[in-house]
Structure 1
């Protein structure tokens, strides 16, 4: 049986059953990694992560027990034709057609929302999830390297990175200073050079207004955004940046987000510099943060090497998969 799951009406028992599926799936596919706390899951379901659009959820039941869950994020702005779909099952119920049944139940809403493509970014390479994605017509479009840094065991001497001549570093939390915000918005566009494989996802086009809106959305959820930027002394322009966020329901976990270096300033070690100085600042200001996670496209060997140099270790890779809604619907009809 497939049912819609409404977070704003769900009971604590309902959330716990949903959470059990998520944690069991992670334990099977990502052994040894910290589990997502129940309260963090509830918070994300009630209010999706900033920048991810509206969310919808479904559960798959067998004998009234929740054995599978599905989340759809309806991306917006540049990506308003993409539905980001995550399907998770209890390991003992995999390869029984339940994931496909969930996807069939989701398709009408995808079409109603005029979504052209389905993408999923949370498939661990070599697991049952990859087999299922291929079965329902989702092809691999990108490989993603996951890395993590544990602050307690990190070699902090790796963070002793000098600031290249001709630059200075600036740091802020939450709100970019007025004197830098326009240059910062422009510098964020440097992330467009980061490879996305064959994914149809498009990087955001940042303006000052969009920066301010994103900052406000983060504040509304109590998410602390930290920025370290390198400023070119001769021009006063932001030349490199790195962003790290900490969520209020998971204060021990840091999310390393965008790191970018403006094209004409590459080759001076700015990427490593801003990342190292972010870590130096973080362990002093937020010693409760013990685990920092980041993802990088496999083709972006330079940034992966930078992460290695400051102490990140590599975890099992993810793959991003994609399919046209119409093609997936046809494939599901054929394998029914």
Structure 2
């Protein structure tokens, strides 16, 4: 089947609709039961990028000019920073095994090589043809992840009460979006605690966190239409952030179109648990479980529209997997991060 591969510089409304069609069809096929993305969510994912990154986008059109495949390549914004790139490549289920995925990946690899990147990573569902597709193209498995889901109606009663359990020397704080100015620097320092998070054989960029970058990250979530919720454990000794947990509430319903209100309603019912970290000097006090339970109770009290939370954790991170299990999270699916070494 003849196809046309096109690099997008500024995605139009038609481009976004075509991208949404491919992404929705692939998710419905590969992850049945998961909420589908809204048009607004797809638009935001193609037009907003975090600090230190930039995007390169490709859309493949089929015989009737409909979208049949997409690729989103995340590149470092400037020289340095490890020269690591990642790609999200999607082929419509009705157009798989026709060679377009191979051709599109070749285009992406060439672009990342031209940008002097050293590694290219991507993530696929474990046990699917995506693994053999990558393995035969010199990608190697670098990190295995377990995705977990928590149905809020099934949270154990003891978890709901955990925030009331005193943790001598610490107090809880919560905010939405960027941290209060008084906590911005120590929150950035706590973010750096993720540097020792298990990452298997996956090479990851080491981000320099400061108050400005923390604020930029919160602003990015707002531009995507998401609400960023934060809970932190504050050390009574010096007022610094000893640990934190973050969660995003999905965007509001978009203005309609493909995947309109029904998909938006489904998506709004699911929140995404992001990173949780405790500064090394404050570990061993149960702060991670305390923080995550406080976040969950906040959802129950303040956001009844949210019915479930999903998260992903490296299989090597046994401690966080145990914390999640104690909270009531259950396995949802498994994915594998693959990495390709690019030509020098």
Shorter-chain TM-score: which interval? 0.7 to 0.9
When residues 52 and 298 of structure 1 are mapped into structure 2, their CA distance, relative to the original with a 3 A threshold, is farther
1:57-136 map, 5 Å: 57-64=57-64, 65-76=66-77, 79=81, 81-121=83-123, 123-136=124-137
Separation (CA, whole Å) in 2 of partners of 1:22 and 1:154: 32
Cα shift at 1:85: 0.9
Residue of structure 2 aligned with 1:277, choices 289, 294, 314: 294
Aligned match of 1:53: 53
Q: Unaligned regions of 5+ residues in structure 1, if any? A: 328-336
For 1:1-336, list aligned pairs within 5 A: 1-6=3-8, 8-12=10-14, 14-48=15-49, 50-51=50-51, 53-64=53-64, 65-76=66-77, 79=81, 81-121=83-123, 123-161=124-162, 162-249=165-252, 251-326=268-343
| Distance (Å, rounded) in 2 between the aligned partners of 1:276 and 1:265 | 18
CA displacement at 1:142 relative to structure 2: 0.4
1:5–1:159 CA distance, 2 compared to 1 (3 A): farther
Alpha-carbon offset, residue 34 of structure 1: 1.6
Counterpart CA distance in 1 for 2:243 and 2:211 is 17
Separation in 2, partners of 1:41, 1:31:
19
Change (3 A) 1:221 1:95: closer
- Structure 1 vs Structure 2 CA RMSD: 2.3
Deviation at 1:52, TM superposition (A): 7.3
**Distance in 1 separating the partners of 2:67 and 2:11:** 17
Show CA shifts across 1:236-289 (max 9, x none).
Answer: 232111011224345433221110011122222110000000111122222222
Taking a change above 3 Å as real, the CA distance of residues 252 and 53 of structure 1, as seen in their structure-2 partners, is farther
CA contact (8 A) 1:94 1:128 kept: no
Number of equivalent positions? 324
Using the size of structure 2 for normalisation, the TM-score is 0.86
1:18 is displaced (CA, Å) by 2.5
Residues of 1 paired with 2:61 and 2:11: CA distance? 18
Residue of structure 2 in register with 1:334 after alignment: none
Between the aligned partners of 1:68 and 1:252, the Cα distance in structure 2 is 28
SS in 1 for 2:220: helix
Q: CA deviation at 1:76?
A: 4.0
Give 1:108 shift: 3.6
Kept after mapping to 1: 8 A contact 2:84/2:205? no
SS at match of 2:343: helix
Deviation at residue 316 of structure 1 after TM alignment? 1.2
Superposition deviation, residue 300 in structure 1: 0.3
Residues of 2 paired with 1:66 and 1:181: CA distance?
43
C-alpha distance in structure 2 between counterparts of 1:149 and 1:75, whole Å: 34
User: What is the rounded CA distance, in whole Å, between the counterparts of 1:94 and 1:303 in structure 2?
Assistant: 36
CA contact (8 A) 1:191 1:203 kept: no
TM-score, normalised to structure 1, is 0.87
- Secondary structure at the counterpart of residue 180 of structure 1: helix
